Amino acid sequence: MHVSLKTPRVFLALAALLFALFGADRSDAHQLAIDQLTLFPDTAAGHVRGQILFDPKLTRANNDDGFAAISPRVIAFLRQNLAVEVDGRRLELSFEVRELWTGDGAIGGDSVMLDGDVPRGAKELRVFAGAPLRALAVSIESTSAGERASPQSALLLGGDWTPSYRFRTPAQQGWAEGDPELLAEKIPRHREQTTASPTSEPRTALAKPEAAAPVAIGFAPESAWRTASRYVRLGFTHILPRGWDHVLFVAALVLGLRRKLRGLLVQLGAFTVAHTVTLGLGAIGLVVLPGRIVEPLIAFSIAFVAVENLLAKGEPKHRAAWAFAFGLLHGQGFASALAETGLPRESFLTALLSFNVGVELGQLVVVAALLVVLHGLSDAERFRRYAVRPGSILIAMAGLYWGVERLVA
């Protein structure tokens, strides 16, 4: 087959697809997308314990060096990229590697325990993640007396601090629930009174604690703009550079339309509406399918669209309906990734919609880039020969490869 040198952009597109096929070796499209940190601070006992699960690729390419050699590198990485601050003072944390990810070992990545001292009577706590920890879901559940409640969660993007997590103060806990020393101070000492005065007031058995101004417990509220910007960024990065399966699905739609922009917009609209619906339903827990079912189906949906591009004579039929159906699957994939962040309850809708906006922006960038690359192929036959055929073959190979890999994983 003769290929004209006047179409170098086609070769660039094919090179990108080859990189996607042989460079993206993840068996799960959403595996380890968001690292997890869980903290259990106890201000009464004066310590904080926790666990972090994070992507092993941040510290190594494989496990060939063994546990003893890898563990120090993992701990050194966390010392450089994870910090906990209490009342403006950085804590000295100790780390213990519990389990290293081996593909069939730890669930969610390398498992590392951490421990540090917290001053008694601490008021607030913050967590910092370095830039390599691109997305860290932080959950905090206090174990202090009278303070155990549902965990508070926040999404932390690399290079930033969480909002301050506010502890319950002794006045809010009530003296009966606080530290024993504080409890002793609240109990009045018994004094013998030999003579009673008719005008004296009767003593109460216990002193009444002073009322304290109400203070919110948990993460301090953020502005809607800050929450929205964080989740838009998360949605965008879930497509570029992490979402190769979604990129290839959109690329297959673009190749199948033979440069018909109106039809492309209809199909992308159907795809968007569908995955928005299941993203919302999945995020609130109404429709949740197991990842072992969703992930292979997402991969095979990519292969299906690419193979249809090769077999169809002209524009594939019923493509908008297929885009909608497959969008339902892809929305479940998005929901599984979003659920890992522990969406903030007070700004749930803002976070959900912002994540979806980020996803759409990522898809639009992919579409725009492909249209620029394919702009020079104005002739229908040249477009099919140099773009549809080779591109769809590579996309189908990638989809089938991922689908089989995810089935046997």
Q: Report d(CA 149, CA 147) in Å as an integer.
A: 6
Beta-bridge partners for 50: 39, 114
pLDDT digits (tens, 9 = 90+) for 68-98: 899 999 999 999 999 999 999 999 999 999 9
Q: What are phi and psi of 161, to 5 degrees?
A: -105, 150
d(CA 82, CA 91): 11
225-to-290, 350, 355 alpha-carbon distances in Å: 33, 9, 13
What's the rounded Cα separation, in Å, for the pair 357 and 234?
10
Instruction: Report the interhelical angle of 319-339 vs 348-373 (nearest 10°).
Output: 130
Q: Give me 107's structure tokens.
A: 């669930």
The overall pTM is greater than 0.75 = no
CA distance 187 to 175: 9
Q: What pLDDT score does 210 carry?
A: 45
Residue ranges per structural domain of the chain: 8-29+223-408, 35-150+165-169+214-219
- Chain position carrying tokens 């769809």: 392
Instruction: Assess contact for 131 and 158: CB atoms under 8 A.
Output: yes
Q: Is 106 helix (H, G, I), strand (E, B) or coil?
A: coil
| C-alpha 37 chain-centroid distance | 11
The string of DSSP letters for 153-180 reads: EEEEETTEEPPPEEPPPHHHH-GGGS-H
CA distance 349 to 337: 16
Q: Is the peptide bond before 163 cis (omega within 30 degrees of 0)?
A: no
Question: Taking CA 79 as the corner, what is the angle to CA 74 and CA 82, rounded to the nearest 5 degrees?
Answer: 100
Spans in the chain with pLDDT lower than 70: 1-33, 103-108, 143-151, 169-216, 258-259, 340, 342
Q: Which pLDDT score, from 0 to 100, does residue 181 have?
A: 45
At residue 170, the pLDDT reads 53
pLDDT computed for residue 96 by the predictor: 96
Residue 186, CA distances (Å) to 183, 207, 283 in order: 5, 6, 46
Label residue 202 left, alpha or beta by phi (over 0 means left) and psi (-120 to 50 means alpha): beta
- The answer to whether 94 touches 79, Cβ cutoff 8 Å, is no
The residues with which 153 forms a beta bridge, in sequence order, are: 139
Q: What's residue 17's pLDDT?
A: 52
The SS3 assignment for 268 reads helix
CA distance 271 to 328: 8
CATH fold, domain 35-150+165-169+214-219, is Immunoglobulin-like (2.60.40)
Q: How far apart are CA 189 and CA 203, in angstroms?
A: 11
* Tokens representing residue 321 in the block: 């309906």
